[in-house]
Amino acid sequence: MSTRIVWLRRDLRLSDNPALTHAAARCERLLILYIHAPDEEAPWAPGGASRWWLHHSLERLSDALRDAGSELVIRRGPSLEVLRECIDATGADAVCWNRLYDPATRERDGRIKQALRDDGVETRSFNAALLAEPWTVETGSGGPYRVFTPFWKAIREDIGALSPAPVPTLPPPPDIPSEPLASLELLPTLNWADDFSRHWTPGADGARQRLDGFLTDSLEHYADGRDIPSQDLTSGLSPHLHFGEIGPREVLAATRATSSDDGRTRSAKNADKFLSEVAWREFAHHLLFHFPHTTEAVMNPRFRQFSWDGNAQDLDAWQRGRTGIPIVDAGMRQLWRTGWMHNRVRMIVGSLLTKNLRHHWLEGARWFWDTLVDADLANNTLGWQWIAGCGADAAPYFRIFNPVSQGEKFDADGDYVRRFVPELARLPNRYVHAPWSAPADVLRAAALRLGHDYPLPIVDLKASRQAALAAYDAVKG
Ligand SMILES: Cc1cc2nc3c(=O)[nH]c(=O)nc-3n(C[C@H](O)[C@H](O)[C@H](O)COP(=O)(O)OP(=O)(O)OC[C@H]3O[C@@H](n4cnc5c(N)ncnc54)[C@H](O)[C@@H]3O)c2cc1C
């Protein structure tokens, strides 16, 4: 009886999963295997919030497979050893998986592919995660893209033809034991993540609900609303996309169907904007694949000698949402409480950390890595290098976000700040983004003692901006 193995990694879904579809059509027994081997992703093994997500996602996947007459078998790594044990135990003659693009897993997967082939086992890999794999797109002169707009132009026509595949009929599983999910010890021992489940439903059903809800309620406000952090107008799909609970082909097809059903120009404009953000994810993977060193080192060589000289105390205040700068503290507390932060605010907190406080962008990237449920090596690396000014298509070095004017512009009525920094709830709008500028009687009326109930700013925004400009000026090109 022929047996195959599908090795699931960050493709935790049954629909539009080409490795699963391929294997299911070619065997009588199908082993669906998840191997927990975080060390193989070092130095970017999943952080705390990602592990929380993964636990729940595996639980949901296991339920879905049981409902489909199959089973999820969970094992702990090393991956090659586990695959060989499973091949021995089941007599499987082929292993299929969907490709990943980060340096550590690419190296591992290449090694495993060779070793299994040497053992005489067939291996097949597929694309489940991207609209355009990194090696399929190149500039006119033949190299990788470094700027987003031409990259998006190059892929947007071709991706029009992509359509997602349905859930396949699954052959029964071979009789092979699984380890209990709890043995992976993915959940935090602190009660830190207790609130996450109020905000998120990991798993493919949760992903589909998010997408449907977004397309029905928010897409038509996306282009203008996506920058307003107090409003829930972005898709919230990032952790689902990261773990492959939904694929980008499914997102693309559903978005196009919605905007063409409805036929309004407004909707087409919003759909275009949304798909261009999804394409930033493609661009991030393109960069990560072609410039794998950028997970640790600057993309722009001019920044190799840049003096990042932040101090530990400021980093701690930033992480805990105690900088005394309201929109920054609101963002950092949103992150801690919900495992996610609005994109506009990610840029504001990143600019403060790398420019005003002059911390190395890797300090920010590492904190996000541990606390974001959507922590993704491609997107996080791109985001941090972009905001620090040392990345591809980076903000001009002189663009230093002023967190007060950003707050006044994108959180004009202070709703976002008030939600996450309740100490400031009673301040009038005029002062909510700069409480230090409020007169004493206003502070008294708001029951706010600066430096006591809420910190004074840890940095002089104007002076630190000048110092950052001078430092960036030295490396500009
Ligand atoms: C400093 C910094 C760090 C970041 N770290 C991450 C990270 O670890 N993981 C992550 O998924 N995103 C990261 N981003 C990008 C962006 O903030 C999130 O993708 C977005 O906020 C997710 O919310 P959403 O799903 O509602 O986005 P939507 O606006 O609904 O966008 C839809 C999808 O497009 C993709 N996308 C949107 N914006 C970007 C972007 N700028 N870069 C790459 N992909 C994008 C995401 O997959 C997202 O789910 C980072 C941005 C910055 C500035």
pLDDT in tens, 379-389: 999 999 999 99
Any atom of ligand 1 within 6 Å of the Cβ of 244: no
Tens digit of each residue's pLDDT (9 = 90 or more) over 85-140: 999 999 999 999 999 999 999 999 999 999 999 999 999 999 999 999 999 999 99
DSSP code per residue over 177-224: ----GGGG--S-SSSGGGGHHHH---SHHHHHHHHHHHHHHTGGGHHH
- For position 262, what pLDDT does the model report? 57
Domain end among 290, 310, 332:
290
Residue 328 lies inside a defined structural domain of this protein: yes
Where are the alpha helices (H) located in 35-102, listed in sequence order? 48-67, 79-90
Average model confidence (pLDDT) for the chain? 95
- 374, 390, 393, 399, best to mutate for ligand 1 pocket (most atoms within 8 Å of CB): 374
Domain end among 129, 153, 181:
129
CA distances from 442 to 387, 404, 430, 449 (A): 35, 18, 11, 11
- For position 193, what pLDDT does the model report? 85
Any atom of ligand 1 within 6 Å of the Cβ of 57: no
Catalytic residues: 277, 280, 308, 343, 361, 384
- 211, 238, 281, 385, best to mutate for ligand 1 pocket (most atoms within 8 Å of CB): 238
Residue with CA at minimum distance from ligand 1 atom 24: 236
Assess whether 143 and 281 both reside in one domain.
yes
Assess whether 211 and 351 both reside in one domain.
no
Assess whether 120 and 144 both reside in one domain.
no
Mean pLDDT computed over 40-48: 97
Assess whether 261 and 307 both reside in one domain.
no
Kindly state the percentage of the chain with pLDDT values over 70. 98
Assess whether 66 and 151 both reside in one domain.
no
Tens digit of each residue's pLDDT (9 = 90 or more) over 394-443: 667 678 999 999 999 999 999 999 999 999 999 999 999 999 999 999 99
Assess whether 136 and 265 both reside in one domain.
yes
Q: Tally the domains of the chain.
A: 3
Q: Which helix (H) or strand (E) holds 371?
A: helix 361-371
Mean pLDDT computed over 169-191: 95
Assess whether 148 and 271 both reside in one domain.
yes
